[in-house]
């Protein structure tokens, strides 16, 4: 489980769409935290 959570970050939302959503809503999860090697998981 730890290996999967630390290496698998699917991109279901296009980065441009993600940016527009973040402009409209106070998203607390930083995009950098959704990349492999971030140390979060």
Instruction: Tell me whether residue 11 is in a domain.
Output: yes
Domain that holds residue 29: 2-34
How many CA atoms, within 13 angstroms, populate the side-chain half-sphere of residue 31?
Answer: 12
Instruction: Tell me whether residue 27 is in a domain.
Output: yes
Query: How is residue 2 written in tokens?
Result: 């730890």
Q: Please provide the DSSP assignment of 10-28 as one string.
A: ---S-HHHHHHHHHHS---
Q: Which candidate, 37, 38, 34, places its Cα nearest to that of 12?
A: 34
Give the pLDDT score at 41.
64
Instruction: Tell me whether residue 30 is in a domain.
Output: yes
CB-based contacts of 35, cutoff 8 Å, min separation 6: 9
Number of domains, the chain: 1
Instruction: Tell me whether residue 10 is in a domain.
Output: yes
Q: What is the pLDDT of residues 25-39, one digit of tens each?
A: 999 988 887 777 777
**pTM confidence score:** 0.56
Mean pLDDT for the stretch of residues 11-22: 91
């Amino acid at each position: 489980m730890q290996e999967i959570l630390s290496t698998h970050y699917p991109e279901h939302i296009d980065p441009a769409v993600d940016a527009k959503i973040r402009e409209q809503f106070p998203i607390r999860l930083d995009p950098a935290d959704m990349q492999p090697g971030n140390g979060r998981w």
